[in-house]
Amino acid sequence: MSKLLILGVAAVTCIAFFGAAGPAAAKNYEYCRREASSYMLSCGFDTLAQCQDMSSGRGGDCLRNPSLGGVANAYAYAPIARQHRQK
């Protein structure tokens, strides 16, 4: 009987612990670093200076996070439309 009680308490404790643990809040950082060779974008910098410090000696460039958006740059990363000839 006591083993069943201990098992029940352990199950309730696990449910309470894992139920209360939520996912971490995602943060959109201001600046991104683009790798020189793979062009992979890693956005994890609050300031341009942080990004440049990480890039020093490794290559790559720093740019403003394109996912932050804004009206001014809404079409900055849109592909160029090509006009087709009609035959």
35, burial (CB in 10 Å: exposed 0-12, middle 13-18, buried 19+): middle
Q: pLDDT averaged over the chain?
A: 74
CB 43 within 8 A of CB 65: yes
CB 51 within 8 A of CB 45: yes
pLDDT at 50 over 90: yes
Domain edges within the chain: 26-68
CB 61 within 8 A of CB 42: no
In this structure, what token pair is assigned to residue 45? 């910098």
> Is the pTM above the cut of 0.75?
no
50, burial (CB in 10 Å: exposed 0-12, middle 13-18, buried 19+): middle
pLDDT value at residue 85: 56
